[in-house]
Structure 1
Amino acid sequence: MLTKNLDVTYTLVWSVAIANILGAGICFTFANQLAKVALIRIGILAPAVLAITYVGAFQGSRQWGDIYALLIFGLIGWIMKRLRWPRPPLILGFVLGGLVERYMFISTERYGADWLWIWRDFGDGNVVFAPYVPIIFAVTLYGVLSPIIRGYMKRAKTAKAASKFGFQKEALNPDFFFAIILFALFATAFSIASTWEFGARLIPQVVSIAAMIFIGWLILSAMFVAPGEKAEVDADGIPGRGEGGAPAQSDVHFDISADYGDLPGPEITKRVISYFAWLLFFFGASAVIGLLPAMFVFLVGYMRFEGKERWGITLIVSAAIWLVSYFLFHWLLIIPWPQALVGDWFPGLRTIPWANLF
C-alpha cells in the first residue's frame, strides 16, 4: 500500500479527512433542523433510538455478548446516574484503558519507577531533566481536588460548617452499599490479578489500589463524619438536588445530574422496571425471531402500548424505520445477523438471501 498503491493509501486518508469536514459542515448548516428532533414525542423517539442502539451495539464483535454488555452497562449507567456517581471516568477507562496499560508497561520496563520523577536515568550515566509526568499529574490532581477544596472552604465560612463525628446511621443508604460493592469488586480484581505475570497485573493492581483507597475513604467518611452541610437525600436514601433543582452546595459532581422533578420514588422505580422490561423483551424476541424482525415487533409494541401512540402513526413510523434498517444493514452493509431459534427450526430460511435474518 505504501509502494505500489500509494495513490490508494492517500485516497483512503484524505477521504476520512474530507468526510469529517463535510460532516461537521452539514451539522452546522442543519443545526436548527437537527435540534428539532428533541421535539419528537418520547413515545416515538425512545423506541427508535433504542432499536438503532441495539443494532449498533451488535456491530462490536457481532456476537450475543455485545447485547449482554449493552444491557448490563446500561443498567450500571442508570444506577450510577441515580446515585450521582459520575460516569465519565468509567467511559474514559474503557476508551483509554488499553493505551494506558500498554504504555505504562513500556515506561515501567524501560525506566522503572524513574518515569514518575523529574529526573530520568537512562542507565549509561546520562540523567535527563524530564518533569512532564509530574506536571501532568499535578494538573490532573488540581482539576479533581480544587472543586472539593473550594467547597470545604466555602462551607467553613458558614454557621453550619461544624462537622459531627460518630456513627452516622443515615449514611446506610443505597449510595453507601453501592460503594461497598465497588470496593469488594476492586478488592477481588486485585486478588485475582496477583497471580498474573508482572505485565498483565500492573494496571489492574494499580487501578485497584487507587480505587480501594478513594472508595475506602468515602465509606469511612460517610459512616463516621457528618459534614455541616450535606446533599439532600430523598425518601429512598438517594442523594438528590438542592432547592429549585440545583445541585446541593456541598456536592462536587463531575456528571450531569438527573432531575426527576416531583416524581415520587415508587413512580420512578415503576418506570425504570417498565423500561428495562421492554429492553429484555427486545433481547428475548431477538433470540427467538432474529434481531431485525424483533426490531419491528419492539417498535410497534413500545409505541402502541408504552407510548400510547395511535395505530396509524405506530405502523407508519415502525415500518419506515424497519425498512431503512433492512436495506441499510441487510442489503448494503450485508450484516451477518445473530442466529435465532426460528432459523434453527426452519433452516431453509437461511438459504434465502432476502430472508436470511435468523
Structure 2
Amino acid sequence: GPPVVALTTVGQFDSPVDVAWRTGDATLFVVEQGGRIVPVRDGQPGDAVLDIRDQTTGDGERGLLGLTFSPDGTTAYIDHTDGDDDTVIAAYAVGPDGVFDAASRRELLLIDQPYPNHNGGNVTIGPDAMLYIGMGDGGSAGDPERRALNVGTLLGKILRIDPTPSGDAPYTIPPDNPFVGIEGARPEIWSVGVRNPWRMAFDPATGDLWFGDVGQGEIEEVDVAWAADGAGRGLNFGWSAFEGSQRYNDDQPADGATPPVFEYPHGDAGCSISGGAVYRGSAIPALSGWYVFGDYCSGNLTALQVQDRAVVGTTVLGNIASISAVRAGPDGELYVTSVAGTVSAVVAG
C-alpha cells in the first residue's frame, strides 16, 4: 500500500516559513516570517541567532522568507522583503556557535517589487555550490506587465549566481548561465516563466531541481528541472503563456514551454502549493524517492511517486493547517512548517 507516516511537533514558533541546516551541525534553524531565525538544538528552541524585525514587515507574503547556508556552513544567505517591500538577498557570517554576525551583513541583490505579493522567497545552494533564487513575477494578478517571459527582468525567474564577491561586485555571474552575453538579458537568469516558485529544492540523490509554482486562479503545479537536461538551464516553465498545462495569456508565446510534472485544480485539494522535497531518508522506506509537498489552503501533505519522469502514484500523507514549506534535513528526513505556528517532523506511521 501507499506510505503511511505520522507527524510529531518539534516546537512552536511565530509564523515559521522555512527551516535550514548547515554542514556538520545538527541544529535546526527555523525562519520566522516576522524576521527572526531561531535555533532548535536537542529539541529545545534557543535564543534567536538573527533578528531583522526592524528591517522587514512580516505580513501577507512579505517578511523574512528563506534561508540557506554555504557548503562549509560559515555563511548564511537569506531572502527577505525590506521596508519598501522590495526583495533583498543578503549574506551573513555565521560563527561556530550558529550565531549570525549582524555587522557582517552583505547585500547581494536588491530586486524592485512592483506589488506586495508574489515575492518568491526561496534561496538554495545547489550541488554546484551556486546560489539559486526563486523570484516571483512581481505580483498583482495575471502577470500584467508580462514579466515572467521577459529576460530583461529578474522577476518571474529562477536565478543562479555565484555568491562570491568579484572585485566591487557583491556576487559573480557563473559563465555557463544561459543568458550571459545576450544583449538586453539579465545574466543572473537560469530559468524563465515562473509565477511564484515559493519553495524549491534539489534532490540530493540525482541533482534534479523540484519546485512548486503557485497558480493564478485555477491550477497549482509541480515542476522539475531534470539534472540530466541541465537542471533548468535556459528552461521556460510556461507562465504566463500557461497556467499549469492550460493556455493563459494568449499574447505570450506558447512555444518551448516545459509542462509541469503534476498539477491539481483549485478546490478540495487546495489553492496554494508549498513545495516540497524528495524523500531520501531511511526511517520510512516506503516513501523513498517520493516528492512530498504541502498546500497552504487545504493543509494536505501530499506525496508523488515518479517513475521515468511521470507521476505513477499520489497519496495524502496527512494534514497540517497553513503549510508554508516541506524541507529535507541532512539525514533526508522531512520537516513541515506551518505559519499557524508549528514545525513538525515526518516520522514512520
TM-score by length of 1: 0.24
Q: Which has the higher contact order (CA 8 A, sep 6+)?
A: 1
More helix by share: 1
**Whose strand proportion is higher, 1 or 2?**
2
TM-score computed with the length of structure 2 as normaliser:
0.25
